[in-house]
Copies of this chain bind each other. A is one copy, B any other.
Amino acid sequence: MTQAIDEIGLDAWRAFITAHAAVIGAIETELAERNLIPLVWYDVLTVLSEVPGRRLRMGDLARRLVLTRSGATRLVDRLESAGLIARERAPEDRRGAAAVLTPRGAAALRKAWPVYAGGISRLFLAPLAPSEINLLATALARVRDHVDR
C-alpha cells in the first residue's frame, strides 16, 4: 500500500468500473433476448455505415475498433457468414482486403438501434441530471485522449 490514492479517487474508480460492467451487461442481455446482434457486431456495422463508400480496409477497421488485426479478421469472418458484411479485394493494393457493409447489414443495424438506444437512455442517462451528462462527456473524453496521448 505504498501508493497513496485518496478515498474519493478510489470510489470514483470503482464506480467507473462497476457501472460499466453493469450497464454493458444489461444491454447485451437485452439484445440477446430479442435475437438482435451483439454489441461488437453493432460497433463494426456502425463504423462502416459512417464511412464514405461504407467500406474500410481491414487494418483501418481494426484500429478504429481497438482490435488486433487477427481479431478483426475473425470478427469480419463471422459477420460475413451472417451476410451483414462482404469482403472485397482492394483494387489499388492487392495485398489488402476491405470490409463492405451489405444491405442486410444496414438493416440489422437499424433493427438493433432502438433497443440499444433504449438501453442507453433507460440504464445510463435516466439516472443522471443534464449537467452531470455534460460533465461526464467532457471529463471522460479528456481521460480517453489523455491515455491515447
A residues whose Cβ falls under 8 Å from a Cβ of B: 1-5, 8-13, 15-26, 66, 110, 113-114, 117-118, 120-121, 123-128, 132-144, 146-148
Query: If the complex has contacts A118-B3, A135-B135, are A141 and B9 also in contact, measured as CB distance less than 8 A?
Result: no
Q: Which of B5, B125, B142 contacts A12 (CB 8 A)?
A: B125
Which residue of chain B has the shortest Cβ distance to A22 in the bound complex? B147
- State whether A137 touches B15 (Cβ < 8 A): yes
| Shortest Cβ distance from A110 into B: residue | B1
> Is the Cβ of A9 less than 8 Å from the Cβ of B133?
yes
A2–B10 CA distance with the chains assembled, in angstroms: 39
Cβ-defined contact, B113 with A1, below 8 A = yes
Docked pose: A121 CA to B143 CA in angstroms: 11
Q: Using CB atoms, name the residue of chain B closest to A123.
A: B147
Which among B11, B126, B134 is the interface contact of A141 at CB below 8 angstroms? B11
12 A–B pairs (Cβ distance < 8 Å), ordered by A? A3-B121, A5-B120, A11-B137, A12-B136, A16-B136, A17-B20, A18-B140, A19-B140, A19-B141, A22-B144, A23-B143, A136-B139
Answer whether A26 and B147 are a contact pair too, CB < 8 Å, given A137-B11, A141-B19. Answer: yes
Name A144's closest neighbour in chain B (CB-CB).
Answer: B19
- Once A3-B117, A15-B136, A16-B136 are accepted as A-B contacts, the answer to whether A66 and B123 lie under 8 Å apart by CB is no
- Given A66-B25, A148-B22, is A10 in contact with B132 using a C-beta cutoff of 8 Å? no
